């Protein structure tokens, strides 16, 4: 029997009570979703590709294909460019300002923006049947935010900043953000969650157009926690670099679908000092001659655990794929743990794929070397951990 | 540095017994002895490596150092160069210098310039500043990097553990120059070496030779004779 996301929300509130905690939520979601739902409809590899397949085949009438009402979204794209977009308590606080610039970033509440809402309602039908946390966000949030980006200049940087310094309360902050990068664009995008007392539950979808380049930096600093689910589709000829910096409780799911002649670089820098962290990274090679490099480095302290599941899936058509995946974990003390599962699923010939993982203890000799140069033991450990997770 | 009844043990093996000696500021002392006799263990015993057991008293500037943490000994002005310094991936060389010298942001420009001059002096390229510490460096380059640490820290007492091994002839000249210069600056150096060319060019005060678990003071004739003939 399938439960709806609304049911899940009720259960989550029960668990979260007045204080949302990522660990409690994680534990709860793991148990409930995996135990209760897995036998029914949950298959990790399938959920996202189902969404993507629909996007790709336009079954969802995805409006960003240059037809229909696409022009609605491109208003103001050629003029001034906002450098920072700030979200506050789940809203775009910069919306007013952005509206003045042409209103090309939308926070859709379901009544004003025609096609965005249409897209949202269609996609939610798909999302609702999934129990993946990020998709749950879709059900929890009142609307979806859609951003369409293109090249204004040769290279453009945009920052999405989620900051709730004024917020005294701890609550669940759910959001769905769709970012479509037009063909032949070259963009730098930064997502930041700063000083967040809330727990964030986000779904991000990035669509990278033909021959475009996106450099995406994702960081969480001094925050209560993030459960997020990122889906990225790379159209043919596109290049993607994702750098993720995690220093707080994380549960991240990153799913990339790459078509022909694409380049994908994914770097993860994970520091589990005050909390545990989970990363699930999937790269689906769907077209020929694509390249991907996945590198996750973690340093773990104090009874914390890091989980890494990495999957490279190579489709039948993806001849000439060149892919490598490495996960390196540094245990900073005897109580820390790392679990690593790198996986390859190859369905064609003439490809080159490698994968590997290491879990090692911090080298006391290195600590002592720094001490002989006048660095205290604590700082020496910090330097080595920071060095290990350097992207 | 004053040693009083110092005994050094590692893995239940006593390498040095009841050593008494005072090394004065500005003195250069050459330490010789066969492989495995305890020269490096002495160096790291003075620095306080965890697996080395040191009994007795070592005083530096009239402070007992045997109870201090290793980094505190370093802060007091004691330095040991490593025979095989480890690689530290992701830790930039200048980043380490910043940490060691506790450089504030306002001083970074000046300090970086100074560090680049030091690198040039020891024969390393300026690009070394951003390189991860010792990563991919050859044996000789690592020794040059140790020399740059020595020049950067200018410690009152430096224990140089075979810093002349793996260096080319220019490198050897540089080592001698640096140590002789230290003497002029009234800084003391304990030089552990197997290299006769180094000691022949070095202005040193006396030698200390490992012999049956003792460190015996010897003059330059004995030092050179031993280094020439070997220990067989």
- pLDDT exceeding 70 applies to what percent of chain A? 50
Instruction: Quickly list DSSP for A182-217.
Output: PTT-EEEEEEEEES--SEEEEEEEEEE-TT-EEEEE
Domain ranges of chain A: 5-259
Residue A3 pLDDT > 70: no
Name the DSSP class of A288.
Answer: S
The shortest CB-CB distance from B70 to any of A372, A379, A390 is to A372
Residues of A in contact with B50 (CB under 8 A): 364, 368
Higher-scoring residue by pLDDT: A108, A229: A229
Contact A377 B80 (CB under 8 A): no
Please tell me which of A40-44, A112-116, A358-362 the model is most confident about, judged by mean pLDDT: A358-362
**Best interface-test mutation with B: which of A368, A374, A377 has the largest number of B CBs within 10 A?**
A374
Q: Which CATH architecture best describes the domain B2-86+139-229?
A: 3-Layer(aba) Sandwich (3.40)
Contact residues on chain B for A387, CB-CB shorter than 8 A = 88-91, 132
Question: B111 with B103: CB under 8 angstroms?
Answer: yes
DSSP B25: T
Q: What is the DSSP string of B33-100?
A: --TTSSHHHHHHHHHT-TTEEEEEEEEETTEE-TTS-HHHHHHHTEEEE-SSPPPEEEEEHHHHHHHH
Which is nearest to B206 in space by CA: B214, B198, B197, B216? B216
Which residues of A are less than 8 Å from B71 in CB distance? 370-372, 374-377, 380
pLDDT in tens, B44-93: 999 999 999 999 999 999 999 999 999 999 999 999 999 999 999 999 99
Q: Structural domain boundaries of chain B?
A: 2-86+139-229, 88-133
> Using CA atoms, how far apart are residues B132 and A3, in angstroms rounded to an integer?
52
pLDDT of residue A98: 34
Residue B170 belongs to what H/E stretch? Answer: helix B169-184
β-pairing, A226-234 vs A250-258, is parallel
Q: How far is A254 from chain B (nearest CA, A)?
A: 25
Across the interface, do B91 and A387 touch by the CB < 8 Å criterion? Answer: yes
Identify which of B61, B19, B34 has the alpha carbon closest to the alpha carbon of residue B155: B61
Please, which pLDDT band fits residue A82 given cuts at 50, 70 and 90?
very low
Tell me if chain B has a CB within 8 Å of the CB of A358: no
Distance from CA of A276 to the nearest CA of B (A): 22
Question: What is this model's ipTM?
Answer: 0.96
Answer whether A383 touches B (CB < 8 Å): yes
How far, in Å, are A288, B4, B151, B157, B181 from residue B76 at the CA level? Answer: 62, 19, 16, 9, 21
Question: Rounded to whole angstroms, how far apart are CA atoms B133 and B88?
Answer: 5
pLDDT at B36 over 60: yes
Looking at per-residue pLDDT, the higher value among A79 and A13 belongs to A13
**Residues A298/A328, Cβ–Cβ less than 8 Å:** yes
**Exposure b/e, A255-271, CB count within 10 A at least 16 = b:** bbbbbbbbbbbbbbbbb
d(CA A233, CA A282): 12
């Amino acid at each position: 029997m399938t439960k709806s996301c609304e049911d899940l929300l009720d259960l989550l509130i029960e668990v979260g009570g007045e204080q949302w905690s990522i660990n409690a939520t994680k534990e709860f979601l793991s148990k409930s979703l995996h135990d209760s739902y897995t036998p029914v409809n949950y298959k990790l590899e399938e959920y996202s590709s189902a969404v993507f397949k629909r996007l790709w085949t336009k079954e969802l009438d995805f409006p960003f294909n240059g037809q229909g009402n696409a022009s609605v979204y491109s208003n103001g794209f050629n003029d001034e460019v906002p450098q920072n977009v700030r979200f506050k308590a789940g809203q775009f606080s910069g919306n007013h300002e952005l509206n003045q610039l042409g209103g090309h970033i939308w926070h859709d509440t379901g009544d004003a923006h025609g096609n965005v809402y249409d897209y949202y309602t269609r996609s939610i039908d798909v999302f609702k049947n999934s129990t993946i946390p990020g998709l749950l966000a879709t059900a929890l949030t009142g609307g979806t935010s859609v951003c369409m980006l293109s090249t204004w200049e040769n290279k453009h940087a945009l920052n999405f900043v989620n900051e709730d310094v004024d917020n005294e309360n701890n609550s669940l902050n759910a959001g769905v953000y769709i970012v479509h990068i037009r063909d032949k664009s070259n963009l730098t995008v930064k997502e930041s969650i700063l000083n967040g007392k809330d727990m964030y539950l986000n779904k991000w979808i990035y669509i990278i157009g033909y021959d475009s380049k996106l450099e995406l930096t994702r960081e969480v600093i001094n925050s209560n926690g993030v459960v997020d689910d990122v889906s990225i589709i790379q159209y043919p000829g596109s290049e993607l670099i994702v750098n993720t910096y995690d220093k707080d409780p994380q549960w991240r799911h990153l799913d990339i679908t790459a078509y022909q002649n694409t380049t994908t670089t994914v770097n993860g820098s994970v520091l589990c000092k005050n909390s545990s962290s989970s990363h699930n990274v999937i790269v689906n090679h769907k077209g020929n001659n694509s390249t991907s490099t996945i590198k996750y480095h973690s340093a773990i302290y104090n009874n914390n655990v890091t989980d890494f599941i990495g999957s490279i899936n190579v489709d039948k058509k993806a001849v000439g794929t060149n892919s490598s995946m490495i996960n390196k974990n540094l245990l900073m003390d005897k109580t820390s743990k790392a679990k690593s599962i790198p996986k390859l699923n190859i369905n064609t010939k003439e490809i080159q794929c490698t994968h590997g993982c290491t879990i090692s203890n911090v080298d006391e000799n290195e600590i002592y070397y720094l001490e002989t140069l006048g660095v205290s033991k604590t700082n020496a450990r910090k330097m080595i951990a920071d060095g290990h997770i350097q992207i | 540095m004053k040693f009083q009844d110092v005994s050094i043990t590692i893995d239940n093996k006593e390498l040095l017994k009841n050593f008494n000696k005072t090394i004065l500021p500005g003195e250069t002392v050459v330490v010789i002895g066969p492989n495995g006799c305890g020269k490096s263990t002495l160096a790291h015993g003075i620095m306080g490596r965890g697996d080395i057991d040191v009994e007795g008293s070592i005083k530096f500037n009239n402070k007992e150092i045997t109870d201090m943490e290793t980094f505190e000994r370093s802060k007091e002005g004691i330095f040991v160069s490593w025979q095989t310094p480890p690689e530290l991936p992701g830790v930039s060389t200048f980043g380490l210098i910043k940490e060691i010298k506790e450089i504030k942001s306002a001083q970074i420009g000046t300090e970086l310039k100074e560090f680049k001059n030091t690198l040039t002096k020891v024969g390393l390229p300026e690009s070394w500043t951003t390189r991860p510490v010792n990563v991919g460096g050859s044996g000789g380059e690592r020794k040059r990097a140790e020399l740059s640490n020595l020049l950067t820290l200018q410690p009152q007492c430096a224990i140089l553990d075979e810093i002349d091994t793996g260096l080319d002839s220019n490198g050897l000249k540089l080592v001698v120059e640096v140590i002789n210069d230290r003497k002029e600056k009234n800084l003391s150096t304990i030089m552990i070496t197997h290299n006769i060319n180094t000691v022949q060019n070095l202005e040193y005060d006396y030698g200390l030779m490992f012999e049956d678990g003792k460190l015996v003071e010897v003059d330059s004739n004995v030092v050179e004779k031993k280094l020439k003939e070997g220990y067989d």
